[in-house]
Structure 1
């Protein structure tokens, strides 16, 4: 039915409160928008929400836009469907980079916008695909938002929500209530959550925690480099075999290296067993003796400290056995259940994508068997055509779970596999190259140890990393006698980490060749 309204009645100078929410899939942006609309309507206001989805979960956030006005004389206002740059009162960003994108879109302005943002990161595909550290600099975002917004409230709302058994939408709702940007009391916000009927107690806990955080110190400091925390060496590890390793670290190694050595022992015990972790300490102890002989004490035992890190990384290589072990762990199932919010009456199924090659199959076999197959190219190729194909493995089914569990049980035979033999040979060649430089170019020896960072993953990823490692190490003969050799080695490694194809490394190697 069309209502006839005069022009004077239709025009109004009332300005609605405008709210933009930027959230990715699974972050509850729709729930948050519905809460705000329900809150406004319960208080006698008129409200409207629209949404524009992103292309995908990590190629663009969904923008939820809301406008609200107090009801007047029973006439429904006409609301906008999309936010207008420079005319948004409140922006809620469910992730730090989305806060930065809201500034780029012009939604945040210094004359009127209150920006409420979570400082946690959900890394985009473009950040994850880089061989090195491809993460965007969060400090740039916080500097921009500090300048662009009239007021900013920024803290880790994701961690706060998770610690209270809820999702980020609840903590963002609490931050909105604590900001005072909407003319409604805290009790009205809480009543809206209770009316939702799902996860009420957990949502209220996260809401109240965020409300208190906003009322206290609302802004968290961010850093361009992630904080790395290493556990201090304990008095006891709770097991006789592990206690012997801990006591050995305390008695034999310099204090600078102890946190890394303890981390390495934990990693290798988890990877194999305490005896394998003992072999790791044996190897680092031999390197420490060479380090001391080369005057390492005056240099803060930098060589030993880096060896403590990267020898553990080299010994805990990613093979098929390790991958299968991680896939079937109960802790992983529990973590995924929490991440996707599985209820107690629901069954969780996970589908893994696996693409084994014959190289991985041979690597898992006893070294004699693996070498026998590799020396027969026709047999190897026929078998590769059979196994080298992508598979979707449902680890929630009995067949696939037991299959992966059986593969993970091969860790007892790992030391006799072809892959272990090759990893050991490669590790010793790398360490020999590093220790050969200690007496003549200590700094370059440390950089050679750091090159192990290039080798990671398994299957194709491992092959690409190993190729880059070999190419970077090929420059060692040109750099070993140079005073700035360590600087050039570091530049080569950084170039190798810039892109997957190695184009930057090609250019860097050509530059080194001209020195």
Structure 2
């Protein structure tokens, strides 16, 4: 039988040890990962190399960042082009560039960073993921694990706040990362070649060059000692005196009635409640806190460095400065908020800032802002209340800084003068007082238990549906804990209940913890 198989030459294009330089870039939307990838490919091609890039998009921060992958190889004189890979292979990546610190950790988990090969370039700043913002308490992931992993998994590491450096130079983080890549020595190209690629883009060139050069120098020389923060992590001291007579009277009350260990937290809480309402509200805060401190003293709080009083100062302020229509409107119309948004967006003097926000108030929130008696009367008229609800309960796109909407929000914010007679305030006060009484009961049973019961307040925040869900969790945790008052391990169970409620938005973990406790009762 005749063999008609076509036989092709399988001679290798180069030496067996010849391999491309591989670069993986992980970046979230809006952080310039695509721009940086394009710069790297242009850089390779401008130097006579063959460059190829691919990308696998993520879905915002819910499933991780987009992975951009670049391979480059020096073109051969015989004109043969290499076949380059389209995806990074674990254990075979030369450079990993991460636009955010946790993305560096995820790269390590994927096996892209290895101690024998990889240069890791990462910004140390955090951009919180959606899952970190969802928990009702502190849901921010601990970055210490990533710190430890970086030290043992990367051949070379270049880590500093590249985002802050870029902003300081009027540019974006992609320029900083490009500068650190140039200084790392991972690519055999001159600094001037990188500049030429940036200039070729034609947009924001000078700012990008400044950020590039700053990152290049920072990578080679390390941090400038004169720019290092002198903050030792300690809170600012409480002032001895305030200029305002009314404010100073509150400060002197705080100093006279509370232990020094609680002054810093109490001063922060006092500022919060006064800004929320008025000076008289500040007096109410100090009255409540003084009563809690008296209970703390009776429970031997001096031997615990007045921890109960300190925690009460924090969580009582949070409870008294609850989110309602007036507070939301006030926060959205503050001058400082507009300035912060303009700064984050890098709005120039010749540009106009316009913000469009989605608001969806319900009749429940509107009626709760009315005087308590009238609000209860209104809610008792079921048909009329439902008619109003159909007209109020609609999503609206609000141009905050247009004259019409700004004035509307401004006048709603000024309605806070009537807050203390509103139905919402009466409801919040009743819940607050019950919570504090329960915490004092816990303190009498066991000091640590009282402290944990104060911390339950972490579960309540926001307004509308978020506030309702928080209250539901709070009630579950509190009611379960009250059944444990006579147990020696009540504080440990209370701590576990709170942790389960904070970390699990669906309450599955919380319900399982409650079931476990019930089997031991």
- TM-score, normalised relative to structure 1: 0.88
- The answer to whether residue 428 in structure 2 is matched with residue 426 in structure 1 is no
| Deviation readout 1:91-110 (Å, 9 max, x if unpaired) | 11111232233234443233
1:198 shift after superposition = 3.2
Instruction: Find the aligned partners of 2:261 and 2:374 in 1 and give their Cα distance.
Output: 43
Aligned equivalent of 1:495: 500
Say whether the 8 Å CA contact 2:73–2:82 is kept in structure 1.
no
| Deviation readout 1:28-55 (Å, 9 max, x if unpaired) | 1122223323433444544333333324
Residues 431 and 106 of structure 1: CA distance in aligned 2, closer, same or farther (over 3 Å): closer
Instruction: Find the aligned partners of 1:237 and 1:180 in 2 and give their Cα distance.
Output: 55
Residues 437 and 144 of structure 1: CA distance in aligned 2, closer, same or farther (over 3 Å): closer
Does the residue aligned with 2:503 lie in a helix, a strand or coil?
Answer: coil
Does the residue aligned with 2:338 lie in a helix, a strand or coil?
Answer: helix
Does the residue aligned with 1:47 lie in a helix, a strand or coil?
Answer: strand
Residues 476 and 70 of structure 1: CA distance in aligned 2, closer, same or farther (over 3 Å): closer
1:188 shift after superposition = 3.9
Aligned equivalent of 2:163: 158
1:392-403 alignment runs, 5 A limit: 392-403=397-408
- The answer to whether residue 324 in structure 2 is matched with residue 322 in structure 1 is no
Say whether the 8 Å CA contact 1:67–1:79 is kept in structure 2.
no
- The answer to whether residue 49 in structure 2 is matched with residue 20 in structure 1 is no
- The answer to whether residue 54 in structure 2 is matched with residue 53 in structure 1 is no
Instruction: Find the aligned partners of 1:98 and 1:498 in 2 and give their Cα distance.
Output: 21
- The answer to whether residue 340 in structure 2 is matched with residue 338 in structure 1 is no
1:159-198 alignment runs, 5 A limit: 159-198=164-203
Instruction: Find the aligned partners of 2:20 and 2:472 in 1 and give their Cα distance.
Output: 60
Instruction: Find the aligned partners of 1:247 and 1:36 in 2 and give their Cα distance.
Output: 61
Say whether the 8 Å CA contact 1:231–1:263 is kept in structure 2.
no
Instruction: Find the aligned partners of 1:448 and 1:270 in 2 and give their Cα distance.
Output: 26
Residues 140 and 268 of structure 1: CA distance in aligned 2, closer, same or farther (over 3 Å): same
Say whether the 8 Å CA contact 1:83–1:107 is kept in structure 2.
no
Of 435-444 and 299-308, the range deviating more from structure 2: 435-444
1:194 shift after superposition = 4.4
Instruction: Find the aligned partners of 1:390 and 1:479 in 2 and give their Cα distance.
Output: 44
Residues 210 and 267 of structure 1: CA distance in aligned 2, closer, same or farther (over 3 Å): farther
Residues 340 and 255 of structure 1: CA distance in aligned 2, closer, same or farther (over 3 Å): same
Residues 110 and 485 of structure 1: CA distance in aligned 2, closer, same or farther (over 3 Å): same
Aligned equivalent of 2:228: none
Residues 248 and 41 of structure 1: CA distance in aligned 2, closer, same or farther (over 3 Å): farther
Unmatched 5+ stretches in structure 1:
1-5, 219-226
Instruction: Find the aligned partners of 2:207 and 2:168 in 1 and give their Cα distance.
Output: 10
Aligned equivalent of 2:370: 365
- The answer to whether residue 298 in structure 2 is matched with residue 293 in structure 1 is yes
1:423 shift after superposition = 1.0
1:509 shift after superposition = 2.5
Residues 245 and 198 of structure 1: CA distance in aligned 2, closer, same or farther (over 3 Å): farther
**Which residue among 501, 504, 511 is the counterpart of 2:516?**
511
1:353 shift after superposition = 2.1
| Deviation readout 1:302-333 (Å, 9 max, x if unpaired) | 11111111110101101111111122223223
Say whether the 8 Å CA contact 1:50–1:81 is kept in structure 2.
no
1:204-219 alignment runs, 5 A limit: 204-217=209-222
Say whether the 8 Å CA contact 1:230–1:263 is kept in structure 2.
no
Instruction: Find the aligned partners of 2:430 and 2:111 in 1 and give their Cα distance.
Output: 57
**Which residue among 22, 36, 41 is the counterpart of 1:32?**
36
**Which residue among 445, 450, 455 is the counterpart of 1:450?**
455
Instruction: Find the aligned partners of 2:63 and 2:111 in 1 and give their Cα distance.
Output: 19
Instruction: Find the aligned partners of 2:271 and 2:54 in 1 and give their Cα distance.
Output: 50
| Deviation readout 1:276-322 (Å, 9 max, x if unpaired) | 22321222122212322332112211111111111101011011111
Instruction: Find the aligned partners of 2:207 and 2:259 in 1 and give their Cα distance.
Output: 47
Aligned equivalent of 2:13: 11
Instruction: Find the aligned partners of 2:21 and 2:385 in 1 and give their Cα distance.
Output: 68
1:477 shift after superposition = 3.8
- The answer to whether residue 394 in structure 2 is matched with residue 389 in structure 1 is yes
Instruction: Find the aligned partners of 1:240 and 1:263 in 2 and give their Cα distance.
Output: 18
1:187 shift after superposition = 4.2
Instruction: Find the aligned partners of 1:176 and 1:195 in 2 and give their Cα distance.
Output: 18
Aligned equivalent of 1:83: 87
1:410 shift after superposition = 1.3
- The answer to whether residue 282 in structure 2 is matched with residue 280 in structure 1 is no
Matched positions, count: 502
Instruction: Find the aligned partners of 2:215 and 2:241 in 1 and give their Cα distance.
Output: 37
